[in-house]
A and B are shown apart, each in its own frame.
Chain A
């Protein structure tokens, strides 16, 4: 082997090693973050943590029951608003989206997808909180739905487009009207993919904080009224992490672990849903 050839092969091997090392670094970052979450958060997870609301600053104890329930309500309501519009838009894009309106909607969805969530937050404040005169969980849900719709729309479109033409043609040839073909055959076939997209979308908004700062605001008490300010896990982590008390920091780690667990469960469920599709012929 000539020295030039040797050099080229050594370079190749070195660069292979380098990109492998870079990948390892990225994996390591995730493991470190998850590791710290568990190391610093797991010891605080007990019955009181899940069943109590926060106690006044300076006292020990207290939990995040209000934040867990609040996250559920706000995210649930956001999904209720966002999923139908998102899925409908996605179906429109896949079925009728080749014209100018389709192009516009697709472009707008991508623009909104890249919009910083904090901008959506101040928009929701101006649009909902200011006219209503007070902060509310409902405004937070709408802000989250705004973030969710473009995401769901694009994944739904992509999943529906994966359905083979032949299925659609078969249904049409059997005399099915287009709307039934679309819903009963095409959307039904893409269902696993659509569900995955929805779960991923919900997982992403469940961790959002910025749009809730000026809408749901946060609330130290247990409150289930959607017209009042409400606490979520993400808001609670922000308050506790930036606060001055050791006790708060401990609770912040525990709350972060719970939030991360929630997001991961949704993410794994999404993977599982898509796998169902691949396994069935």
Chain B
């Protein structure tokens, strides 16, 4: 939008803008036309200065994280990533359980959220009657407006009792023999964390997939329908494949949200430094570790280890988000799809 179709200088014979007092000499008028207007320069300067704030902020953030994490980086090297001892007394730190817990809870959440969110997106773009679309889209997006801590509260007092009474017993009855459901279920667990995360990321995945599906040209649908496809076949064989990159992008964007989600997960996941296959056991995530332990970190190395956890989390989310945006831009080019909150 910076290059206007209108050349500000105009062709040599162009009509000069009306000036309040007709000036006999062409010099000043010509100068204003050449864009040396002081106001323009000031305006552009101010906006550029404001826009520079963001890159500077990112650099500062990265620098602060790296500098703070440096002692731990130097002390533990790469073994930080795959050792699982986290002992503040002996000053030995390994983040493997948190990294495992973060990935496990987020992937499990995706498993639950993706069918739901894609279902919502497909229903809203392809099947729902016109009058229903806006209200349902609004309600689903409202899920994104609920603060994380409110999800956590709901998780503790509603979701966990519900899982304990109605979900875990039947699951156990059928799949109890697998290692994924072993052990005593106390409530705070990987499962509870994943379910809460799933509800929280549905609106993001649904909103972006919906925009992606809306960006699919109608001719795709019409062509499929014209060849005798049923409505579902048109959606599944023409519309969805066309938007595949964008849909995958929306899912990865949801993953990015899930990886960094803090409060709700901290409140229900149980916060135990442990790697286990059972989804009924407590686990830990990187974000939860920061929330719980940061103010308790008394030694410099402890704090530094937590900064390293933050740095790892930051790098992972940056990579995941960059990937998501590249995919989404393939379909909905250049728009800010997914950067909206509500």
Contact = CB atoms under 8 A, between A and B. Distances in A.
Interface residues of B, number: 105
Interface string A154-168: 110110110001001
Interface in B43-71: 43-44, 46-48, 50-55, 57-58, 60-61, 64-65, 68
Contacts of B233: 8, 12
Interface in A212-258: 213-214, 217, 234, 237-238, 241-242, 249, 252-253, 256
B25 interface: no
Contact of B143 (A26, A116, A217): A26
B318 A111 contact: yes
B2 A210 contact: no
A155 B53 contact: no
Given A36-B158, A260-B146, A200 B123 contact: no
Given A96-B2, A256-B150, A116 B51 contact: no
B339 A110 contact: yes
Interface in B268-321: 287, 290-291, 294-295, 306-307, 310, 313-314, 317-318, 320-321
18 contacts: A12-B230, A33-B146, A88-B50, A96-B44, A114-B256, A116-B260, A118-B260, A121-B290, A122-B307, A149-B53, A151-B341, A179-B39, A207-B147, A234-B263, A241-B156, A256-B149, A264-B142, A267-B142
A122 B69 CA distance: 11
Interface stretch (B75-83, B112-120, B175-183): B112-120
Interface of B: 1-6, 8, 17-19, 32, 35, 37, 39-40, 42-44, 46-48, 50-55, 57-58, 60-61, 64-65, 68, 115-117, 119-120, 122-124, 126-128, 136, 138-140, 142-143, 145-154, 156-158, 199, 202-203, 206, 230-233, 236, 253, 256-257, 259-263, 267, 287, 290-291, 294-295, 306-307, 310, 313-314, 317-318, 320-322, 324-325, 335-336, 339-342
A20 B127 contact: yes
A177 B116 contact: no
Contacts of B35: 178
B145 A203 contact: yes
Nearest first, the 5 closest Cβ-Cβ pairs linking A and B are A116-B260, A207-B147, A175-B17, A22-B119, A88-B50
B147 A214 contact: no
B313 A11 contact: no
Given A89-B51, A92-B48, A209 B127 contact: no
B136 A115 contact: no
A154 B54 CA distance: 12
Contact of B47 (A27, A29, A96, A200): A96
A263 B47 CA distance: 30
B322 to A, nearest CB: 7
A123 B124 CA distance: 40
Contacts of A169: 4-6
A248 B120 CA distance: 37
A15 to B, nearest CB: 4
Contacts of A29: 143, 199, 202
Contacts of A96: 2, 44, 47-48
Given A22-B120, A27-B140, A112-B58, A180 B39 contact: yes
A107 B329 CA distance: 12
Given A16-B231, A179-B39, A30 B115 contact: no
Given A36-B158, A98-B1, A207 B148 contact: yes
Contacts of A1: none
A271 B140 CA distance: 15
A22 B199 contact: no
B339 A115 contact: no
Contacts of A11: 230, 232
Given A116-B260, A116-B287, A26 B116 contact: yes
Binding site secondary structure of chain B: helix
Given A93-B51, A119-B310, A30 B6 contact: no
A19 B123 contact: yes
Contacts of B146: 30, 33, 207, 260, 263
Given A22-B116, A92-B50, A154-B336, A123 B1 contact: no
B262 A118 contact: yes
Contacts of B152: 238, 241
Contacts of B122: 19
A101 interface: yes
Nearest to A201: B341
A134 interface: no
Nearest to B68: A126
Contacts of B256: 114
Most B Cβ at <10 Å: residue of A26, A33, A175, A252? A26
Contact of B50 (A89, A109, A179): A89
Contacts of A108: 54-55, 57-58
A26 B202 contact: yes
Contacts of A121: 290, 294
